[in-house]
Amino acid sequence: MQEISLIELLSYSIESNRIKSFIEKYKLNGEIRIQKNAGGYIYQADTWEEGDEISLTFVGNKMFSHNYGSPINVSDSSSDELIISEITVDNNFSIKKEKSPIELPFSLELGDDKDLIFEKLKKKPYDKSNSTYGHSWWFKFDDFRILTALNDKYELIWLRVMKLDKYEIEKEILKKKLKQQNKNIKLENIANISNFKNKLPTIEWEKRRLEGDEIFTHKSIEIIEKLLIEYINKIIDLTNKKNATTIFNSVKKITLNINKINDRLNIIDTLEREEICDFINQIVRETGLEIDSEIDLTEDWREW
């Protein structure tokens, strides 16, 4: 019988026969470390122990159902039993130079170079970053993503598959259908968009500064305020042109610009993050684009 792929294990309950057999086969019977949020729900749990070549990451049923959708083969829907959200394969390839202990997705092999990875995955990474081991390259598919960890020679040394949450999936669907949303853009809403200049989050920041909040300076508030006004004017222009794609892309531009400014000024804390995110997202929705209220369009690029 052909072995179940790693991707097919995502969303399964730890109580399912499929996962019980997998854990037994690869001897992942060590203690599971569980982390709960303030409400008592499990937001992360993992099996990793020193020397493990395969590790599983879980989310409790309650949070999994909310963030990812319905899990598979839950034995008790009222419980918070563990559901697989991530699987990591890492056999210390940089030292051992041994094959993966399990078949990897898309016929990938540890040691594959970057060109072979592109060929097998049939796409380029949507995100890249440097790391202590070399490079992290991310590839996104319909309902999962793959993290490929590469050494300095751009050879695959370990891999992780992760379930996409339902809001990420909605965003991917949204991006694919943006052109169809041109018809939803409402020119009559331009006045409402312009009125956001009277609702800038920096207005509240200035009040907090005058009340003694030392995170701000008058100059730093001015810099962010100018950026937000430019964003409003840009959205007005794009609304006139009825171009959903460029409206969507404008979110990336302002988010990256705020990243750069905040790296230098360090003025965005939790409250400020919520205020800016709400502001940016509300303006896009005001154009007429139909976007789920739970989706944060800044999330893919935000570093604050």
Distance CA 26, CA 32 (A): 15
Residue 3 has pLDDT above 70, yes or no: no
Residue 189 has pLDDT above 50, yes or no: yes
Task: Name every residue whose Cβ is closer than 8 Å to that of residue 41 and which is 6 or more positions away in sequence.
Answer: 60, 62, 63, 80
Q: Please report how many Cα atoms fall inside a 13 Å half-sphere around the Cα of residue 143, on the Cβ side.
A: 10
Q: Work out the pLDDT band at 51, boundaries 50, 70, 90.
A: confident
Q: Which residue in this structure is represented by tokens 């409206």?
A: 247
Mean pLDDT of the chain: 94
Distance CA 269, CA 304 (A): 7
Nearest Cα neighbor of 156 from 87, 85, 101, 99 is 99
- What pLDDT digit, counting tens, does each position of 79-105 carry? 999 999 999 999 999 999 999 999 999
Six token digits for residue 52: 């493990």
Q: Where are the domains of the chain?
A: 1-89, 168-286
CA distances from 49 to 31, 33, 57, 73 (A): 8, 10, 12, 26
Question: Kindly report the CA angle at 66 between 169 and 279, in degrees rounded to 5?
Answer: 65
Q: Work out the pLDDT band at 29, boundaries 50, 70, 90.
A: confident
pLDDT at position 110 is 97
Between 293 and 283, residue with greater pLDDT: 283
Distance CA 15, CA 58 (A): 12
pLDDT at position 270 is 94
128, β-bridge pairs:
137
Distance CA 251, CA 213 (A): 28
pTM confidence score: 0.79
